[in-house]
Structure 1
Amino acid sequence: MMRWIFWLTLLALTSCTNAPLSVPIRDFDVDFAGVQTGQAAFVKANFDKPPVALTQLTLEGTLSFPQTSASFTFFASDTEPCTNKISGVYICNPGASHIEQAGTASFASGTTQPLRLSGNRLKNGINSGNLWIGVRLDTGGIASGTLQFRNMIAKVALIP
């Protein structure tokens, strides 16, 4: 009984203060070899599902790309984004209704930069334990390269 009172009190206190909670995402890479213009490469994010439903989520971390003249659009899906899977990467049309744009990045002044993504599909994916992150190369005139996602952390708050 005391254990339940402790957890209920802790949950109530964090709900009242909207205390932050973090969910680390394991590092991953996205290789653009063979991805056609307009398509996005999706990978399933690996993380431990949070024990409670979360809201106000942003995914933050570091993004690296070997070239300094490229722009990307990022997407999120809480279900398998498509059926076209090649070497563990889904190559999809990002316009499907279950895929949501989550952010953008432009490499104009360096090969590493901070990244911040957000959206309902991102939040739903973290809550369900099923999140696919997609990347579309928008500009840069390159046909291949590897985008590295490092130190990604979903920063969330408990539902008030």
Structure 2
Amino acid sequence: MRFIGNISAKTDTKGRVFMPAAFRKILQAAGEENIVLRKDIFQPCLVIYPESVWNGVMDTMRTRLSRWNRKEQQLFRQFVSDVEILSLDSNGRFLIPKRHLQMANIQQEVSLVGMDDTIEIWSTAEMAKQSLPGDEFEKAINDMMGCQY
């Protein structure tokens, strides 16, 4: 499952947003009925996991974190405590809970960004603040890929 692209959308007064058709097709082709929503750990955005991808994350975490270690249990609890399991309605919309809208500073304008096996939901204004200028982006990519320029 690979999501790519940056698609603009708007939330309605209830906090619903349309899942872009290109992303819906990928979910349907994979037989995904549910999606999992949580706040990103590092950035002020939300992350949508197809349920099978989320289950893989949970499996990985459970193999690395001991149920018998207090700190590791606390980390796991905090990671899963703000998770919502959602499904698309018949119109292809899903509801973003109000607390999640607040966590990501989302008012109405959003960008849904395909990030390989997940989809990020950004406040359009917040995403603009997080983006690198063109020359910094070019240098960072070249450095990361080990390129000389």
Pair in the same fold by TM > 0.5: no
TM-score under structure 2 length normalisation: 0.32
Q: Which structure dedicates a bigger proportion of its chain to strand?
A: 1
Q: Which structure dedicates a bigger proportion of its chain to helix?
A: 2
TM-score under structure 1 length normalisation: 0.30
Q: Which has the higher contact order (CA 8 A, sep 6+)?
A: 1
